[in-house]
Structure 1
Amino acid sequence: MKSKDIRPFIPVKELAVSKAFYEALGFISDDANEDMSVISNGTCTFFLYQAAEINFDAGLMFQLSVPDIQAALNSIQKVKNIDIRYEPIKEERWGKIIYLWGPSGEMWHITELNR
């Protein structure tokens, strides 16, 4: 599978405080919704999300942007002899997504964004 970008989701205690911190460092924030912001600077981009309680034992989430979601799904489906957990392609207003969980519970949002 080809990839284009990785964007982690980072839990925060207070979204407004975290946004202000990253903006002070020169990042730009764009609210995705009331509980999540996209933080970027050049090619570096990640998400901040409001967490009711932060527990790093709960795992992490990442976004992997791909040019062809069907090719990504084909690659996932070809995996043999490994217990793999994923959900099929879902259509969203912004593109398509596959949810994939790694062996330690980390969650990947494999996405093909609209052009």
Structure 2
Amino acid sequence: MDVDDIRVFIPSKNYEASQAFYQALGFRMSKASNDLSIFELGKSTFFLQRYYDKAFAENLMLQLIVPDIEKAYRTVAAIEGHDFRFEPIKNEPWGRVVYLWGPAGELWHITELQAR
């Protein structure tokens, strides 16, 4: 089997607010339907859905690999007017990470991987 991509479906507590948040983060949005949007940044894509389940949203974790964690942190820290939270850069055994909780409670591990 050959694979080109894998896309996750992220829930939203407030669909329009989540759309605005991910655009503020730098993702480009295109509409797939009234209840589904596609977000792209570089070669990474995901779906945002007009669907919310608290237990699912708060247990969803994603890892976004970046080449420069300092630049990613500055991007996250500059976002204003959205319901989200994040922590400063942390050193983990696998690399440097910014933990970011999105508007529905989804947890992003924004990671600059450690050189092997």
| TM-score normalised per structure 1 | 0.49
| TM-score normalised per structure 2 | 0.49
Say which one has the larger Rg: 1
